[in-house]
Structure 1
Amino acid sequence: MINLTDSALNAVQTAISSAADPVDGLRIMVEAGGCAGYQYKMGLVREASPDDTVIERSGVKVFIDNTSHELLTGTTIDYVVAVQGSGFTFDNPNAQSSCSCGKSFG
């Protein structure tokens, strides 16, 4: 299971409500790349893909493909507002290492 904090959930709800086109939910995935081996990718999408796991919380749907789901199981996603910049953070128990920016892991 993947957990979104209340702050992350509010950020996603705001993004969905202000999207120019109709949006069904948030896609979270992992791709090869980044400075640590894998990188997190997120984006609003119109619909789930056939192989997606769908997680719903407070009316927000999160879509995760099967490959990414294995790498993200147990992850907590937060949205942090800080002086250095605001954005999503990932607390991933499956990560053996991570880069200093927190956007990739190995």
Structure 2
Amino acid sequence: MINLTESAQNALKSAISAAAQPVSGLRIMVEGGGCAGFKYTMGLAAAPKPDDTVIERGGIKLFIDNDSHEHLAGTTIDFVVAFDSSGFTFDNPNAKSNCSCGKSFS
């Protein structure tokens, strides 16, 4: 379903270990909005919600709500370090088009 590159796994493990509150995984969602129609949201979470599917990749639990499954199937999440900015990127085979920011798609 969703894949995490080694770089993404390392970035997430660092974020989880540095979190001020207890964290058991990463919540990933697709919401309406952004400049292309849908946007990715993600954040550390203490526990899954009742309607979440929990999958594990590289020792990291991912919490995905039922509404986001169809949009995220086959997506690879990477963490890219660049001179001018660093962050997570999404390679989503379901996206018909992407915004230049890489955080929004249709």
Tell me the TM-score range normalised by the shorter chain.
Answer: over 0.9
Where does 1:1-106 land on structure 2 (aligned, <5 Å)?
1-106=1-106
> How far off its partner does 1:59 sit?
2.1
Q: For 1:90, what is the secondary structure of its paired residue?
A: strand
Which amino acid in the other structure matches residue 104 of structure 2?
S
> How far off its partner does 1:53 sit?
1.1
Quick one: distance in 2 between partners of 1:25 and 1:6? Answer: 16
Q: For 1:30, what is the secondary structure of its paired residue?
A: strand
> How far off its partner does 1:15 sit?
0.3
Alpha-carbon deviations, 1:21-68, whole Å to 9, x = none?
000100010000000000000100100011111111232101000111
Q: For 1:17, what is the secondary structure of its paired residue?
A: helix
Using the size of structure 2 for normalisation, the TM-score is 0.97
Q: For 1:99, what is the secondary structure of its paired residue?
A: coil
Quick one: distance in 2 between partners of 1:69 and 1:12? Answer: 21
Quick one: distance in 2 between partners of 1:12 and 1:100? Answer: 24
Q: What is the count of residue pairs matched by the alignment?
A: 106
Using the size of structure 1 for normalisation, the TM-score is 0.97
What's the % identity of the aligned pairs? 72
Quick one: distance in 1 between partners of 2:86 and 2:5? Answer: 15
Unaligned runs of 5+ in 2: none
